[in-house]
A = this chain, B = another copy of it.
Amino acid sequence: MRILGVDPGSVQTGFGVIHEEQASLSYLASGVIRTSPASSIPSRLKRIYGELKIVMECYRPDVVSIENIFVARNVRSALKLGHARGVAILAAVNNGLEVVEYTPAEVKKTLAGSGRAEKSQVQHMVRALLALSELPEPYDASDALALAICHSHSREMKRMMKALAR
């Protein structure tokens, strides 16, 4: 199964694709979709949607794991973030993909053992879990990979729970 993680933002949207086979994970791709804060909101949203569509068509993930956010600096930044997030979710659903959501705390807890872990700790865990020779950069890309890993882990946990229940 292939999992695409997406960390949406109005200026930078991180993405990361991993392959999961029998609980073993491998890295496929990651990167950042950058939009200029000088560009209009419509053109920025078009770019985020278009680039994510290309990533989905290229790597054909089975599911999209997207950051679920309930906090923001203020209402204005929440609206901006909501724009990017809405467009990222739409790209997934318009490509017929399932969408799953994890909060930053869930991702941190899964990867680094604590919901309050630093971004750098998560980044180091992503490198270790995917056996990468270098740290995945920037944070938006490593956070997106972490979202994909978090979903894989959550599935694995559910499988184990089911097996135990039997």
Contact = CB atoms under 8 A, between A and B. Distances in A.
Nearest to A8: B86
Given A70-B76, A72-B75, A45 B82 contact: no
Main secondary structure of the interface of A (DSSP, over half): helix
A85 interface: yes
A42 interface: yes
Q: Which 8 pairs between the two chains have the least Cβ-Cβ distance? A: A82-B82, A83-B86, A78-B78, A86-B86, A42-B93, A79-B82, A75-B78, A42-B99
Chain B CB within 10 Å, residue with most, of A41, A79, A90, A94:
A79
A81 interface: yes
> Which of under 10, 10 to 19, 20 to 34, or 35 or more describes the interface residues of A?
20 to 34
Nearest to A84: B86
A63 to B, nearest CB: 12
Contact of A82 (B40, B46, B86): B86
A58 to B, nearest CB: 20
Contacts of A43: 93
